């Protein structure tokens, strides 16, 4: 019983000393994770008697409290498998949206877990994190769009145009990211 009290006391102490920047990052992680769960659930319309939804809810809570643990990876795996297993007949834009949301959960959990909760960020570091996160989500979304377009190339002329456009934009995004990352 004493171990539980110490653990809860540690969580409360960490919460009290959370910096505004890290608190905002955790709120963004919570909102993005819940949005991903709600979208996957509503677009698939399938759930194993509510078990997957409850499991995802527990994993979201674990991801929020311990972003440096295996919880975010397990949450991404559960949501990804849930989407892949139940998304038959989904439109291409739905696949891209889910992949972009999962990419956002991934990068936000990585950033929340990479620094202690009391860490304070300078404005330039905040800007760099925001731009890097946005670029990551855009590149992941473009990669998903490219995959969706390539898998439907035989369906008509417009899917070929989408595949070419997504490929060019993805290449431009990767080149831009490499150039931004290699600047002094």
User: Residue 126: which of 31, 33, 19 has the closest Cα?
Assistant: 19
Distance CA 168, CA 59 (A): 36
Does 78 or 8 have the greater pLDDT score?
78
Domain housing 151: 2-181
Residue 159: the pLDDT is: 63
Strand segments, DSSP code E, in the chain are: none
Per the structure, the count of domains in the chain is 1
- What is the rounded CA–CA span in Å between residue 150 and residue 140? 15
CA 102 to chain centre: 3
Query: Rounded distance, CA 168 to CA 122, Å?
Result: 34
CB distance 100 to 140 below 8 Å: yes
- The CA angle 28-57-68, to the nearest 5 degrees, is 55
pLDDT band at 157 (very low <50, low <70, confident <90, very high): low
Question: Is the predicted pLDDT of residue 180 greater than 80, yes or no?
Answer: no
Burial 114-140 (b: 16+ CB within 10 A, else e): ebebeeebeeeeeeebeeebebbbbbb
pLDDT digits (tens, 9 = 90+) for 37-84: 989 888 888 776 678 888 999 999 999 888 889 999 999 999 988 888
Supply the pTM of this predicted model: 0.77
Token readout for 85 is 């297993």
Which pLDDT belongs to residue 168?
Answer: 75
pLDDT of residue 58: 93
Q: What is the mean pLDDT of residues 23-49?
A: 86
Is residue 26 predicted with pLDDT exceeding 70?
Answer: yes
Q: What is the pLDDT of residue 183?
A: 64
* Residue 148: HSE in the Cβ half-sphere, 13 Å Cα cutoff: 21
- Range scoring the smallest mean pLDDT among 1-15, 92-106, 109-123: 1-15
pLDDT single digits (tens) 91-100 = 878 888 888 8
């Amino acid at each position: 019983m004493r171990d539980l009290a110490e653990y809860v006391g540690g969580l409360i102490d960490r919460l009290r000393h959370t910096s505004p920047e890290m608190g905002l990052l955790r709120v963004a992680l919570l909102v993005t994770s819940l949005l991903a769960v709600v979208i996957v659930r509503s677009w698939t319309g399938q759930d194993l008697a509510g078990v997957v939804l409850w499991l995802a809810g527990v994993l979201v809570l674990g991801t929020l409290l311990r972003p440096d643990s295996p919880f975010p990876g397990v949450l991404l795996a559960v949501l990804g498998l849930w989407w892949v297993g139940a998304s038959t007949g989904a439109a291409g834009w739905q696949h891209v949206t889910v992949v972009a949301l999962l990419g956002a959960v991934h990068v936000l959990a990585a950033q929340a877990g990479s620094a202690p909760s009391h860490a304070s960020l300078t404005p330039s570091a905040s800007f760099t994190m925001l731009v890097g996160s946005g670029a990551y989500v855009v590149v992941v979304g473009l990669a998903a769009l490219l995959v969706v377009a390539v898998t439907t190339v035989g369906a008509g002329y417009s899917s070929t145009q989408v595949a070419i456009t997504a490929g060019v934009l993805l290449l431009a995004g990767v080149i831009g990211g490499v150039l931004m990352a290699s600047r002094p």
